[in-house]
Structures are given as C-alpha cells and as structure tokens.
Amino acid sequence: AADYEFACKAGTEAFQTCIGLVGSGMAKYAMAIGADTAQGRPADDLEYTAASGGAAFIFGLRSDETVAYVEGSCSYATDTADFWRRAGQPYPCHFGRFTGKPAYFRHVITAARKLMEELGLGPEDFDWAVFHQPNTKFPLKAAKMLGIDRKKLEPGLLVPYIGNTYSGSSPLGLAATLDVAQPGDRILMVSYGSGAGSDAFSFVVQDAIEEKRPLAPPVKAFLAKKKYVDYATYARFRGKLLR
C-alpha cells in the first residue's frame, strides 16, 4: 500500500503504479483509489468549489472480462508552485489567476498532446474526455484548446454538481464516463496536480462493460442522493469552528 501526496493527481499516480505492478507480474490485481477532502480558507475562492469524494478502480491484465484497457499513459511535470502549504498550516495558499495558464493549462495540454503523439492519435479519435476539474471553466477551455468537442466532456463533468474533489476529481469523472461509454469507445483522461504535473491516459472500452455495468450504482445515482446543508453546518463538519 502507498499514499501518494502529489496534490490532485495523486489518484492517477496510483493508476500508473497499479498498471506497472500488474504489467510486471508483481501483482495479479491492484486497486487504485483517488479520494480527497478539499480544503479552503474561509472566504477564499477555493472554498466556493471545495468538495469531498473519490472513486476506486481495480487493475488486472487485459482479458475478455475487463471493462476497458489502458492503451497508453504519459506524464508531464515541472517545478511550478501554484499552490503551497507550510507544515502546520490548516489551509493552502495559491497564486490566484496564475494557477491557470502557467500551471493547469500548460501541464494538462502538454501531457495530452504528448500522449496523442506517442499513440499516433488525434482529438477526433477520442469519443469521451475527462480533465481535472478545479472549476467548470478550466476543463472546458482545455478541451477547446485541444480541439475536443465539449459534448465529449459532459458525462464526466461533475464539478457543477459536487465541486472540486481534488484527487478524486479525474477518477470520478472517469467513473461517470464509463457509466455511459459503449464498447469500442476511446476515453482520454488527464489529471492535474499543483506543484505541478499531469498524467494522461487513453482507455479503450471493451464488450464486458455491458455485463459489468449493472453490478454497481452509476455515479448519477449517488449525485441524486446528495443533501444540501447550510454554511454553519458545513463549517462545523469541516472543523472550521474552533473553541
């Protein structure tokens, strides 16, 4: 077991570790969990989209029983401190608008393009796309920059409904996309973690998705069960009210 702490791309780092463990024969199956509890200082912009959530995936060797297989993966990382938090600080600090172009977009776009180049694919070859979702604007803009139709993002674009789940963001978007994907569909997923880096993946859906899909509730079923609370209740649950 390992706990990856690379900001919001920790979940997809676990994906790559599982792929390596299974591919090398060190493990027959491996589970990757992308889960997080977002933190934002009271009245900070981060607090507006702060959310909690996660998704888990089991990796094994490709067979007729797997719902999808990994066609390829590519990562891109630099030393870009768009977010930081000193030891003992309860909330992170950030560079505001500079978290966009030099951070999120630079890494997401570069990782996606490098993956397409390695696989010999173009944006038109993907039926669905999932990007890290710190807000609604960023993933939609990333798709436009890559030449991907926004309709391909719709199933996995969850931030308008639940907010930014940090390490759970990309995995949850992938889970929601698999809820509607059909055999033969190709899915592009690109995560982003402050600090900064992105992991890009190409998944190809297999026939087994039809048989396995009814075995678990779809992501939309969980969204339908959500309950709204007032700010005071939220602050108490998140431990923001100190005695």
Predicted local confidence at residue 81, as pLDDT:
80
List the CATH code of the domain at 7-237.
3.40.47.10
Q: What's the confidence (pLDDT) of residue 243?
A: 65
Tokens, residue 155: 């199933």
pLDDT tens-digit readout, 115-170: 999 999 999 999 999 999 999 999 999 999 999 999 999 999 999 999 999 999 99
In the chain, the amino acid numbered 49 is T
160-204 per-position pLDDT tens digit: 999 999 999 999 999 999 999 999 999 999 999 998 999 999 999
pLDDT in tens, 1-35: 888 887 899 999 999 999 999 999 999 999 999 99
Separation CA 60–CA 58 (nearest Å) = 7
Mean pLDDT score across all residues of the chain:
93
Say if CB 197 and CB 74 are below 8 A apart: no
Task: Check residue 197 and report its DSSP letter.
Answer: E
Which regions of the chain does DSSP assign to beta strands (E)?
Answer: 29-37, 52-60, 68-80, 83-84, 93-94, 128-131, 186-190, 195-205
Q: How confident is the model at residue 93 (pLDDT cuts 50, 70, 90)?
A: confident
Q: What is the pTM of this model?
A: 0.94
Output 47 or 184, whichever has higher pLDDT: 184
Percentage of the chain modeled with pLDDT above 90: 73
